[in-house]
């Protein structure tokens, strides 16, 4: 057997070397203590290989018990024992870490059309920019605590969120009053105000209750619209369009559609806000759809609003032509989707995430990625909305007599069948948005659990909120009752997953 390092020496030799090394003045030529077993096995100490005779090794003695000078005490070692469990982390840090990890997570391979107007995109862009703003930090921590309190039923987090939000409101009143004095050189301030106001609106949506007639978040979104208009109208050189500006406008367009309000003239051209190529084409279609939806429906319709008379039949003809044109544009755009975005129709399997809700359709569309399911879900939701617009316009026309067999009757049957087909396609696509998206385990353990088993990844599941919101915003007479119940149950469930109280309450109200 060849020479081996001293680490393989027997226990006897190691103990002898430790005792010998305690002598501070040991001569280099003095033989090392060995035993016969090491001699026979030809084990050589590492010290013997050193060519410099002046070099010696010293063993660090950590305490007097390890050196043998004193015996270890019997019984518990309270002064030396390490604390059990994980170190305590303050509630704000824990809530902020949970929100950033689970709700602002950057998902790979998500096309721009799938995540249009998401707040997480603006927050991620602000974080990447390296900019700092006290108002944004306070708004983000307030929202994180509010979402954490709803998803984890944590009353202390809710109280802390309310306290921070009160401070934020006081700060915002003084800061936002100065927005009117900004010019094109204050890009950082415009972005900070837009992100902060968007976070404040999301906070109000999270803690929403029925006490107010109109959701308080609407006032914050109106403020974001005013700030965006100041950015659009401010004098100076060409304004650089950033992802925060683009995402803010996309989010506001969604709100205008849900509130059934027309887009302002200055907001129509997406090219001025950074939209390009296919995104610009999609943006123009959506802008036209928002204005058509506002022209057909009143801002706050009741169930009987679709029966009101329209004096000018030419206006109805114009709106119907616009609806047909938009439906054709959506079909043409879907035909240009890349092949990898296509889907396969399969038999639906039980969804473990929504097993407590009403049963899903018998067929399901499977996609190669959840983001592709989101794109198709939006497509089906837009076409579903157009079908209900056609039905609403038909209801505003005078009813012919006899009705059965008339062109009016055949058109109504055609659009009713089409709306049911689009609703079925939407329901078949949505489970793929959140299926197979379990939350990734956290990198560190904390005193409070971040992961809740049996729930999807909130940042990915939130992509299904927009098409569901479109379906749930359609008046009941325009959609089958079972289909609308299915959509409302899923939207209320996603409200619980994402901590959005306004979704949970509004969707549950129609059940």
Give me the pLDDT at residue 35, please.
65
Residue 65: C-alpha distances to residues 71, 80, 359 (Å): 6, 12, 68
Give me the pLDDT at residue 203, please.
95
Give me the pLDDT at residue 460, please.
84
Rounded CA-CA distance 416/46 in Å is 89
Residue 407 burial (CB < 10 Å; 0-12/13-18/19+)? exposed
pTM beyond 0.95: the answer is: no
pLDDT band at 419 (very low <50, low <70, confident <90, very high): very high
Summarize pLDDT for 18-42 with one digit per residue, the tens: 555 554 444 444 555 566 666 666 6
What sections of 234-276 are H helices per DSSP?
243-258
Tokens found for residue 139: 């708004």
Summarize pLDDT for 127-167 with one digit per residue, the tens: 888 888 999 999 999 999 999 999 999 999 999 999 999 99
Residues 63, 53 contacting (CB under 8 angstroms)? no
- Report, as an integer, the average pLDDT of 192-206: 94
Question: Which range in 58-67, 308-317, 403-412, 489-498 is most confidently predicted, on average pLDDT?
Answer: 489-498
Give me the pLDDT at residue 79, please.
54
Summarize pLDDT for 381-400 with one digit per residue, the tens: 999 999 999 999 988 887 77
Give me the pLDDT at residue 351, please.
72
Residues 464, 494 contacting (CB under 8 angstroms)? yes
Sign of CA dihedral 392, 393, 395, 396: positive
Give me the pLDDT at residue 48, please.
42
191: closest CA among 127, 271, 104? 127
Q: Where are the domains of the chain?
A: 1-70, 92-259, 301-441+454-511
Rounded CA-CA distance 277/254 in Å is 20
Mapped onto helix, strand or coil, the DSSP state of residue 438 is strand
H or E segment at 345? strand 344-347
- Report, as an integer, the average pLDDT of 36-57: 53
199: closest CA among 157, 242, 156, 146? 146
């Amino acid at each position: 057997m060849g020479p081996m390092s001293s680490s393989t020496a027997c226990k006897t030799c190691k103990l002898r070397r430790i005792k010998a090394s305690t002598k501070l003045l040991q001569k280099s030529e003095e033989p090392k203590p060995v035993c016969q077993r090491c001699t026979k096995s030809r084990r050589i100490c590492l010290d013997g290989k050193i060519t410099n005779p002046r070099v010696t090794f010293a063993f660090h003695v950590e305490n007097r018990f390890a050196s043998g000078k004193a015996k270890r005490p019997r019984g518990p070692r309270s002064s030396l024992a390490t604390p059990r469990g994980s170190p305590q982390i303050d509630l704000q840090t824990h809530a902020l870490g949970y929100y950033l990890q689970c709700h602002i997570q950057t998902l790979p391979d998500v096309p721009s059309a799938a995540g249009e107007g998401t707040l997480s995109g603006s927050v991620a862009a602000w974080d990447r920019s390296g900019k700092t703003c006290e108002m944004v930090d306070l708004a983000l921590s307030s929202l994180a605590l509010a979402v954490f309190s709803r998803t984890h039923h944590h009353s202390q987090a809710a109280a802390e969120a309310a306290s921070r939000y009160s401070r934020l409101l006081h700060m915002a009143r003084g800061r936002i009053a100065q927005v009117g004095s900004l010019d094109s050189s204050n890009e950082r301030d415009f972005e900070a105000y837009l992100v902060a106001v968007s976070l404040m609106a999301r906070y109000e949506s999270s803690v929403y209750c029925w006490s107010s007639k109109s959701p308080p978040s609407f006032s914050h979104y109106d403020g974001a619209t005013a700030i965006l208009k100041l950015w659009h109208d401010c004098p100076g050189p060409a304004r650089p369009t950033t992802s925060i500006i683009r995402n803010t406008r996309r989010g506001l367009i969604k709100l205008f559609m849900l509130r059934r309000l027309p887009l302002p003239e200055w907001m129509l051209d997406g090219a001025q806000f950074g939209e390009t190529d296919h995104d610009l084409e999609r943006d123009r279609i959506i802008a036209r759809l928002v204005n058509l939806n506002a022209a057909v429906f009143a801002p706050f319709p009741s169930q009987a609003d679709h029966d009101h008379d329209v004096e000018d039949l030419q206006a109805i003809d114009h709106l119907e032509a616009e609806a047909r044109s938009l439906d054709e544009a959506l079909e043409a755009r879907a035909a240009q989707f890349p092949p990898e975005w296509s889907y396969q129709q399969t038999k639906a399997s039980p969804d473990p995430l929504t097993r407590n809700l009403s049963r899903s359709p018998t067929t399901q569309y499977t996609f190669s990625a959840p983001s592709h399911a989101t794109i198709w879900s939006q497509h089906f939701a837009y076409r579903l909305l157009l079908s209900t617009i056609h039905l609403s316009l038909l209801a505003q026309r005078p009813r012919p007599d006899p009705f059965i067999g008339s062109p009016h009757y055949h058109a109504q049957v055609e659009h009713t069948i089409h709306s049911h087909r689009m609703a079925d396609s939407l329901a078949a696509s949505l489970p793929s948005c959140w299926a197979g998206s379990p939350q990734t385990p956290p990198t560190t353990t904390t005193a409070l659990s971040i992961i809740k088993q049996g729930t999807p990844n909130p940042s990915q599941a939130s992509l299904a909120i927009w098409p569901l919101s479109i379906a749930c915003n359609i008046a009941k007479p325009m959609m089958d009752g079972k289909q609308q119940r299915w959509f409302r149950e899923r939207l209320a469930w996603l409200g619980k997953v994402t901590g959005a109280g306004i979704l949970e309450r509004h969707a549950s109200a129609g059940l």
